[in-house]
Amino acid sequence: MPPSETTVGTMDNTRTLERQRHLPTGSDPGVRTWLRTAGEFARSPEGHAALMGFFGAMMITFGGFGAGAVRKRDPLLEALHLSWLRFGHGYVLSTIAIWIGVLLMITAWVRLGRTTLGKGDSMVTLNELRAIVGIWITPLLFAAPMFSRDSYSYLAQGALLRDGFDPYQVGPVANPGVLLDNVSPVWTTTTAPYGPVFLLMGRAITSLTGDNVIAGTIALRVVMLPGLALMMWAVPYLTKHLGGKPTVALWLAVLNPLVLVHLIGGVHNEMLMVGLMCAGVALVLERHHVAGIVVVAIGVAIKATAGVALPFLVWIWILHEKERRAAERRAALDSDTALTEEQKHPDAARPSADMPHPLFVFAKIAGIGVGVFALVFGAASVIAGVGFGWVTALQGSNKIINWLSLPTLLAHMVTWVTPLAFDSVLDVTRLLCQIAMVALLVATWWRFRHSEREAVMGIIIAFVAIVLLSPAALPWYYSWPLALAAGFAMSTRTLMWLVGICTWLMLVFQPDGSIGLYNFWHVALATFAAVVAALSLRTVDPLHLRSASSKAAAPESAPPVRA
């Protein structure tokens, strides 16, 4: 990655507190300190950004009752006489409210980014950023599902397991009821592509909430919160090994509206999967290898994509083993010659004086990792009472067609210049891209093995390859590589690119979960907003709107000149 344009130093998590005179007399010193801190935060740029993002989240929540991925029939809105929000002018107003809320959150996020990068008079701390995460997600916890209807599928699949069906053998259509009524038609016959731990969670939620869609949706969001907490811990912690800045990492990977609005507002199990995957990688980097693999295995039992990290963690474990043996030999010989030898052979796959044959070491460590993973996943499957049908169910994503996926984009391009049918071309492009993806994953795993940083970079590249080359891609899939990439030191220019990409991905889907990619004006406006957001990370007013308005106001306020 390009060198950082910003100075990355040791971060201070404290604020300089000025003495305030107007505090309640006789109040507890701890309360007074908290009031001083809260008052200073509220007056700071980051406090203003926190408030703006909160109002944005509130508008998304209220607009979502009419224009979100709402239920087909909503007795609650009918009882409150608010059904008009879902139709006609009410729907238009709800949609406008959502988009204003989204833009407010993006604006607040970019402003907070400028402060986090130190492009202002104050610096934001980790604890303040974590507090802002809580402020922004609070309204979203009670919103209708946003930008996706997946939560209804989660509940229906959990109800299948609750009612004695195998979600890996039958789709929600086998269990008619209120939950099935709200599942997107394309998924009613599709078997569950998720791991046994997530199915167990769905069974527990539907056992508690029954067929109450509102209570089930809120319970799903509550279940996702541990994943968010793990991200808030692990993402800044990864910077210790990857060289980034903790506050920038937390701002980019967690406070990102693409993550909060889609993963919390949209209720996606990526929230749990990504949190567990990041925590597992952090544990392995800290040499808690078995514990890290256990955590990643639980992530795989949520969603299979987390398993991409496991082969790269084997390299990190081997490197740590080499370092441990080299340290022991240096201590025994009291010599520095071993250090020179170690520097000549940093590759985890090459022999060295401290290690047995690399194939033996690899087989041993990989065998331990596979055994730990099999134990965790097998236990979850036994408890859930299901088999391994989720492997074949992964093909269900083939039903998603949009040109965020490279095979779909290539198929569209071929049909633009040839008379071939789209479906037949899509089958070919998907096959070619799957072959390319497998080859790229293997090559990446072998290439990025020389150090901890390289292994984590390999995981990032593997995730990006899967998102781009797999048959289906959705905006929130980019949270997979983003969570790990945030741990690296990045230049302001690189961060601007990431802000633009995340903003564009946030805006190209409709609030009700439909795709906006095939509407030219929708894509054009999303692209314009993304460019403005990217430029705003470095420039306060990239469109020069303030300067133009001030110039226009200047002649009006100037006194008339007499001849």
| Whether residue 467 is found in the same domain as residue 478 | no
State the burial class of residue 514 (Cβ atoms within 10 Å of its Cβ: 0-12, 13-18, 19+): middle
pLDDT digits (tens, 9 = 90+) for 517-531: 888 999 999 999 999
Spatial CB neighbours of 225, under 8 Å, sequence gap ≥ 6? none
Last residue of a domain, one of 473, 499, 522: 473
Residue 377 is assigned to a structural domain of this protein: yes
Spatial CB neighbours of 232, under 8 Å, sequence gap ≥ 6? 130, 133, 250, 254
| Whether residue 96 is found in the same domain as residue 134 | yes
Question: Coil, helix or strand for 509?
Answer: strand
- Rg of the Cα atoms in the chain: 26
Q: Quick one: angle between helices 126-140 and 213-242, nearest 10?
A: 160
CA proximity to 243, closest of 562, 6, 500? 6
- pLDDT of res. 349: 52
Q: Do residues 219 and 141 touch, judged by C-beta distance below 8 A?
A: no
| Whether residue 233 is found in the same domain as residue 194 | yes
CA proximity to 516, closest of 131, 147, 196, 135? 147
pLDDT digits (tens, 9 = 90+) for 224-272: 999 999 999 999 999 999 999 999 999 999 999 999 999 999 999 999 9
CB neighbourhood size of 546 (10 A): 10
CA dihedral 285, 288, 292, 294 (to 10 degrees): 170
| Whether residue 271 is found in the same domain as residue 134 | yes
| Whether residue 393 is found in the same domain as residue 415 | no
Residue 3 is assigned to a structural domain of this protein: no
| Whether residue 490 is found in the same domain as residue 405 | no
- pLDDT of res. 553: 42
CA proximity to 407, closest of 432, 424, 435, 442? 432
Which residue's structure tokens are 């397991």? Answer: 161
Residue 118 CA, distance from chain mean position = 24
- pLDDT of res. 562: 38
Last residue of a domain, one of 430, 455, 473: 473
Residue 349 is assigned to a structural domain of this protein: no
| Whether residue 207 is found in the same domain as residue 281 | yes
Residue 425 is assigned to a structural domain of this protein: yes
| Whether residue 73 is found in the same domain as residue 166 | yes
Domain count for the chain: 2
Q: Give the Cα separation of 187 and 314 in Å (integer).
A: 36
- pLDDT of res. 340: 53
- pLDDT of res. 443: 96
Last residue of a domain, one of 451, 473, 495: 473
Residue 26 is assigned to a structural domain of this protein: no
- pLDDT of res. 547: 57
| Whether residue 436 is found in the same domain as residue 510 | no
**Using H for helix, E for strand and C for coil, what is the string for 296-356?**
HHHHHCCCHHHHHHHHHHHHHHHHHHHHHHHHHHHHHHCCCHHHHHHHHCCCCCCCCCCCC
Angle 420-425-429 from CA coordinates, rounded to 5°: 150
Residue 203 is assigned to a structural domain of this protein: yes
The segments of the chain whose pLDDT lies below 50 read 1-25, 338, 342, 344-345, 549-563
Q: Give the Cα separation of 472 and 194 in Å (integer).
A: 16
Q: Cα-flanking dihedrals φ and ψ of residue 562, to 5°?
A: -85, 145
- pLDDT of res. 19: 38
| Whether residue 319 is found in the same domain as residue 407 | no
| Whether residue 105 is found in the same domain as residue 205 | yes
State the burial class of residue 10 (Cβ atoms within 10 Å of its Cβ: 0-12, 13-18, 19+): exposed
Considering only the C-alpha atoms of the chain, give the largest distance between any 2 of them, rounded to a whole number of Å: 97
Residue 553 is assigned to a structural domain of this protein: no
Residue 385 is assigned to a structural domain of this protein: yes
Q: Give the Cα separation of 205 and 199 in Å (integer).
A: 10
Q: Do residues 454 and 448 touch, judged by C-beta distance below 8 A?
A: yes
287 φ/ψ sector (left φ>0, alpha ψ -120 to 50, else beta):
left
CB neighbourhood size of 55 (10 A): 16
- pLDDT of res. 1: 44
Domain that holds residue 442: 401-473
| Whether residue 438 is found in the same domain as residue 520 | no
- pLDDT of res. 390: 65
Q: Cα-flanking dihedrals φ and ψ of residue 138, to 5°?
A: -55, -50
